[in-house]
Amino acid sequence: MPIDGVVPVSESAMESDLMTEQALRVCVQGRRFALAGGDTLHAVGALDFSLPANSFTCIVGPSGCGKTTTLRMILGLDKQYDGSIHLPGNGPIAAVFQEPRLLPWRTVEQNIRLVLPESRQNDSLDELLVNLGLEDLRGFYPNQLSLGLARRVALARAFVLRPQLLVLDEPFVSLDEPTAVRLRTLLLDLWQLRPTTILMVTHNAEEAASLADRILVFSKRPAQILRSIDIDTPRQQRDRPVIDSIVSRLGD
Ligand SMILES: Nc1ncnc2c1ncn2[C@@H]1O[C@H](COP(=O)(O)OP(=O)(O)OP(=O)(O)O)[C@@H](O)[C@H]1O
Q: What is the DSSP string of the chain?
A: ----SPPPPPHHHHHHHHHHTEEEEEEEEEEEEE-GGG-EEEEE--EEEEEETT-EEEEE--TTSSHHHHHHHHTTS----EEEEE-SS---EEEE-SS----TTS-HHHHHHTTS-GGGTT---HHHHHHTT-TT-TT--GGGS-HHHHHHHHHHHHHTT--SEEEEESTTTTS-HHHHHHHHHHHHHHHHHS--EEEEE-S-HHHHHHH-SEEEEE-SSSB-EEEEEE--S-GGG--HHHHHHHHHHH--
- Residue 79 CA, ligand 1 centroid: distance in Å: 15
Is the reported ipTM for this assembly greater than 0.95?
Answer: yes
pLDDT, tens digit, 9 for 90 and up, residues 32-63: 999 988 899 999 999 999 999 999 999 999 99
Question: Tell me, what's the pLDDT at 20?
Answer: 60
- Residue 93 CA, ligand 1 centroid: distance in Å: 22
Question: Tell me, what's the pLDDT at 34?
Answer: 92
Assess whether pLDDT exceeds 50 at residue 13: no
Confidence of residue 14 (pLDDT cuts 50, 70, 90): very low
- Residue 125 CA, ligand 1 centroid: distance in Å: 36
Ligand 1 binding pocket, CB closer than 6 Å? 33, 41, 43, 61, 63-69, 221
User: What is the average pLDDT value for the chain, to the nearest integer?
Assistant: 90
Q: Average pLDDT in the 54-76 region? A: 95
Query: Which domains are present in the chain?
Result: 22-251 (3.40.50.300)
Q: How many whole angstroms separate alpha carbon 107 and alpha carbon 150?
A: 11
Q: Ligand 1 pocket test: which of 39, 42, 44, 67 has the largest number of ligand atoms within 8 Å of its C-beta?
A: 67
End-to-end CA distance of the chain: 35
Question: Tell me, what's the pLDDT at 157?
Answer: 96
Q: Average pLDDT in the 138-163 region? A: 95
Confidence of residue 8 (pLDDT cuts 50, 70, 90): very low
Confidence of residue 4 (pLDDT cuts 50, 70, 90): very low
Looking at per-residue pLDDT, the higher value among 184 and 20 belongs to: 184
Evaluate the CA torsion angle 218, 207, 185, 104 in order and state its sign.
Answer: negative
Nearest CA to ligand 1 atom 23: 64
Nearest CA to ligand 1 atom 8: 69
- Residue 41 CA, ligand 1 centroid: distance in Å: 9
Q: Average pLDDT in the 137-164 region? A: 95
